[in-house]
Amino acid sequence: MLFATISNKDSVMARPDQNEVLRRLPIVVGALGGVLLFVNRVMTPVLSDSQARGDALGVILSAVLILIGLLWQRIQPKLPDAVMLVGDEGFELTPQLPETLKTELAWASHLLLINTVTCSVVVYYDGQVLLRRGILGASATVNPGTIVQRVLDKQKPVYLVNLNIYPGRIEFDYLPENTQGVICQPLGDRGVLILGANAPRSYTQQDEAWISGIAEKISDSLQRSLINSTLVPQPSKH
Residue 234 has pLDDT above 80, yes or no: no
Residue 74 has pLDDT above 70, yes or no: no
Residue 217 lies in a domain: yes
Shared domain for 117 and 178, answered yes or no, is yes
Closest by alpha carbon to 150, among 196, 186, 112? 186
- pLDDT at position 75 is 59
Residue 38 lies in a domain: yes
Structural domain count, the chain: 2
Residue 13 lies in a domain: no
Name which residue leads in pLDDT, 213 or 226.
213
Per-residue pLDDT reduced to its tens digit, 81-123: 788 999 999 999 999 999 999 999 999 999 999 999 999 999 9
The band of 18, judged by pLDDT with boundaries at 50, 70 and 90, is low
Q: Domain of 172: which CATH number?
A: 3.30.450.40
Quickly count: other Cβ atoms within 10 Å of residue 133's Cβ.
Answer: 27
pTM above 0.85, yes or no: no
- pLDDT at position 56 is 76
Average pLDDT value for residue range 17-38? 73
Shared domain for 87 and 31, answered yes or no, is no
Shared domain for 24 and 105, answered yes or no, is no
Quote the CA–CA distance of 161 and 181 in Å, as a whole number.
5
Residue 234 lies in a domain: no
Shared domain for 35 and 119, answered yes or no, is no
Shared domain for 67 and 174, answered yes or no, is no
Average confidence score pLDDT of the chain:
81
Residue 174 lies in a domain: yes
- pLDDT at position 80 is 62
Quote the CA–CA distance of 16 and 233 in Å, as a whole number.
43
Shared domain for 106 and 48, answered yes or no, is no
- pLDDT at position 60 is 83
Shared domain for 25 and 64, answered yes or no, is yes
Shared domain for 46 and 149, answered yes or no, is no
Shared domain for 109 and 67, answered yes or no, is no
The band of 174, judged by pLDDT with boundaries at 50, 70 and 90, is very high
- In order of 33, 36, 48, 85, the CA distances from 39 in angstroms are 10, 5, 16, 48
In the chain, what percentage of residues exceed pLDDT 70?
A: 77
Residue 233 lies in a domain: no
- pLDDT at position 229 is 55
Residue 69 lies in a domain: yes
Domain stops at, among 38, 55, 75 = 75
Closest by alpha carbon to 231, among 93, 94, 91, 109? 94
- In order of 5, 18, 36, 164, the CA distances from 65 in angstroms are 52, 19, 15, 39
- pLDDT at position 135 is 95
Closest by alpha carbon to 83, among 159, 179, 8? 179
Residue 36 lies in a domain: yes
Domain around 65 = 18-75
